[in-house]
Amino acid sequence: MTPHRHDQHPHHHKQPEEHQEHRDHEAGLADLLDLDAEVLGPFLDEVTGWVRGQTRAAPRAIVDVGAGTGTGTAALARRFPGARLVAVDRSPVMLDRVAATARTQGLAERLRVVPADLDVAWPEIGAVDLAWLASSLHHAQDPDRLLRDLHGALRPGGLLVVIEMDGMPRFLPDDLGIGRPGLEARGKEAMARARWNAYPNWRPHLERAGFADVAERAFTFDIHPAPPAAHRYAHGVLRTLRHGLADQLAADDLDTLDRLLAVDAPESVLHRDDLIVRGRRIAWAARRP
């Protein structure tokens, strides 16, 4: 569940070197999603517990829409052990990770992976009782059409869950001991200006698509001490910030980021002992009448 989980928009025809670069980018993003799952596992269990409270009966069929590496798929499988699951994504790299996760967690017999570009058409996966979209709906070219497709895919009484990330997670104290205080706050402001991960309040969109009983909840997490994987997670998130906002941040902030990302530097996020994983996700749950 990261801000730029993957781009579901169609791509122009790629030359071989462009294709390899794209696959390398997706592989790096997949690594970051796997770290997100490792660090935020307890948080995901809290979210799926809330989802269970919104359902009228344990779902028999679940679809993870824009599944990424299967973070949500695995969390839903743990919460609903009697359900069969479908993971939908346009990226072969991501679906390979989903399948690998399913094998290692003993879910392979319950899971089907389906490649699909949701900007083109909804795939033929049969009726479902629960649809899960984590950090994926805002990537759709026509989210209202996708919501109508999901309304049609759900059985009457079925539940749709949409989750969005309120900016990138934060890891660092305000005063790092290097550079100007407030680096992450300035990074979040730059992300907002660049409209990274921008999404609306989905409630009116859900209601227009025919959904009812819309519930909304904010989930915050503040994990300290940070688990060991948080160091690599922070490194991946800050590297994304450094590369994506190089033209938005001041030169001294870029220099500080370079020092935080240096593998061997003592101030690197890979070695700091003051990391705290903080963030917020917004969830909407809505029912097909």
Provide the pLDDT confidence category of residue 22 given band limits of 50, 70 and 90. Answer: low
Angle formed by the axes of helices 16-39 and 92-104, nearest 10°: 40
CA distance 198 to 113: 28
Residue 33 is predicted with a pLDDT of 87
Q: What does the pLDDT look like over 195-226, one tens digit per residue?
A: 888 999 999 999 999 999 999 999 999 998 99
Beta bridge partners, 214, equal none
For every residue of 4-44, DSSP letters joined together read T----S--PPPPHHHHHHHHHHHHHHHHHHHHHHHHSHHHH
Q: 2 pLDDT exceeds 70?
A: no
* pLDDT for 255 beyond 90: yes
Among the ranges given (31-45, 141-155, 175-189, 203-217), the one the predictor scored with the smallest mean pLDDT: 31-45
Residue 155: pLDDT above 70? yes
Rounded CA-CA distance 41/46 in Å is 9
pLDDT of 13 strictly over 60: no
The whole-model pTM stands at: 0.89
Is the omega angle on the peptide bond into residue 225 within 30 degrees of 0, that is, cis?
yes
Q: What beta strand segments (E) does 54-177 contain?
A: 61-65, 84-89, 111-115, 128-134, 154-165
For the chain, the farthest-separated pair of C-alpha atoms sits apart, in whole angstroms, at 57
